[in-house]
Amino acid sequence: MTERRAILSGSTFEEQIGYARAVVDGDWVHVSGTTGFDYATMTISDDVVVQAEQCLCNIEAALAEAGCTFADVVRVRYLLPDRADFEPCWPVLRRRFGEVRPAATMLMCGLADPRMKIEIEVYARRATTYRAP
């Protein structure tokens, strides 16, 4: 039977809306669209680059709990309300994904909260030797 488990970050959005930060399904890890909120304080910066950094920290924590790293990411989606905000984030994104080279898409769309300037979603594939604790 394939392992399936939810990973929760403590974000109030997960409880209010009814979703998990990530879902581990066998070797696959599906990380939900993740914004720049600091989930410990439920605060968010006004700066898109700072938000992108926080998105990646939040994603990194979910991946780690699933037994992955950014090196395991095969697909990334960037969601932004303002396309002009994307290019300033490139150096931050390149630091995490530049050597990995996952398939990537950037979409312009409205986000759930007007304070959100970027949302990032990733899919990763765990090494088959990983076993959950």
HSE-CB at 131 with a 13 A cutoff on CA atoms is 1
The arithmetic mean of pLDDT across residues 83-100, rounded, is 97
* pLDDT reading at 76 higher than 60: yes
Instruction: Note the pLDDT tens digit of each residue in 22-70.
Output: 999 999 999 999 999 998 898 999 999 999 999 999 999 999 999 999 9
CATH superfamily of 4-125: RutC-like (3.30.1330.40)
What is the reported pTM? 0.91
Residue 15 has what pLDDT? 87
DSSP 43: B
For 80-115, letters b (16+ CB in 10 Å) and e give: beeeebbeebeebbeebbeeeebeeeeeeeeeeeee
Residue from 57, 27, 52 nearest 40 by CA? 57
Quickly state the pLDDT bin for 130 (edges 50, 70, 90).
very low
Q: Residue 106: beta bridge partners?
A: 78
Q: Give SS3 for 64.
A: helix
Residue 127 has what pLDDT? 77
Backbone angles phi, psi at 31, to 5 degrees: -100, 120
> How many Å is the Cα radius of gyration of the chain?
14
